[in-house]
Structure 1
Amino acid sequence: MNRIISEISPDFLIQGLGLHQDENQIYIGKVGGKEVQLLPSIDNWKSDEKDLRIFSVGFAEASHNFRPGDVLMTGSDDLLDRAFQAMDEMEQRGVVVSLVPSQDSTHLYISKEQMDPFVQEWRSRKLSYLCLWMVDPVESEGQAKLVTILRKVIL
């Protein structure tokens, strides 16, 4: 099962991935035969499933390290590799970031306090996860890029 959490209005994901509401008012669908579920918020997150892949999408503010249009990401190695492949094909710049400040100047840090406990839990449970943050502004072209990256990684 692929679960997607969005911190921005999920309309672009619903349309871009062809999702529909089930009887519990949760958006579901299939991407290339793989089941996808869109969670309304990270607060609804509870799962003991083992065969689970988690995707989180959102936005980040531009800074001296990040340019508008960059895709920032953190995740498990398997999904990061797939995301890099997808972005290479699209000629999209992708930057791996850390949610924890580091003394190592090669590690780029992004402040996402509300995501950090979830990412730590996913890491400790050895789940496959990928967080993608588009650097502002997140306009329709940026949303389309996020959908394309997600589609390629899910497939």
Structure 2
Amino acid sequence: MFRLVSEISPNFLIQGFGLHQDENEIYIGKVGGQEVQLIPSIDRLHLDNLQADDIIFSVGFAEADNHFRAGDVLMTGSDDLLDRAFRAMDEMEQRGVVVSLTPAQDSKHLYVSKEHMDPFVQEWKSRKFSFLCLWMVDPIDSEGQAKLVAILRKVIIKD
């Protein structure tokens, strides 16, 4: 199952993936035959309830700085999902940048300040969950939200 978490209003994900509420008032649906569940906040993603083959997606925003410009998609995640995301972005001619959540000694690694996300990402890595975090550099308008949905859809469906 694909678990979606959004740090911005999730309405664009609900509409973009055609999700509906189940009896527990959780948004669920299918994308390309794959089950998708929207988790209302990162704090409500209980890792103990996840299966080994579950995949975590987190979407949100990042602030522009001298390395990133408005509309860039910053990402971190598992290698296989990063590869799929890059392929999706290449098809869309969307600029994507792999970033680190911790300041690196190596100047070749770009850092994005997302302190609240770092503990979650470190936990996902240590527990060997497949995950992909996508952050669009502000401002995120409806076109940017549609791009995030399109990238996620392509990653979920695979080729």
- Shorter-chain TM-score range: over 0.9
Aligned to 1:132: 134
Deviations 1:30-87 (A, max 9, x none): 0000000000000101133211100000000000000000000000001000000000
Aligned to 1:22: 22
d(CA) in 2 for partners of 1:51, 1:83: 18
Amino acid at match of 1:134: M
Gaps of 5+ in 1: none
Gaps of 5+ in 2: none
d(CA) in 2 for partners of 1:131, 1:107: 16
Amino acid at match of 1:136: D
SS at match of 1:14: helix
d(CA) in 1 for partners of 2:27, 2:96: 28
Determine if the alignment matches structure 1 residue 39 to structure 2 residue 39.
yes
Aligned residues with identical type, % of pairs: 79
SS at match of 1:129: strand
d(CA) in 2 for partners of 1:67, 1:125: 33
Q: Give aligned pairs, total.
A: 155
Counterpart mapping for 1:47-126 below 5 A: 47-48=47-48, 49-126=51-128
Amino acid at match of 1:4: L
Deviations 1:104-154 (A, max 9, x none): 111000111111111001101111100000000000000000000000000
SS at match of 1:97: strand
d(CA) in 2 for partners of 1:96, 1:121: 19
Aligned to 1:13: 13
Aligned to 1:154: 156
* TM-score computed with the length of structure 1 as normaliser: 0.99
Over 2 Å off, 4+ runs: none
d(CA) in 1 for partners of 2:52, 2:121: 16
SS at match of 2:47: coil
> What is the root-mean-square deviation of aligned Cα atoms in Å?
0.6
SS at match of 2:82: helix
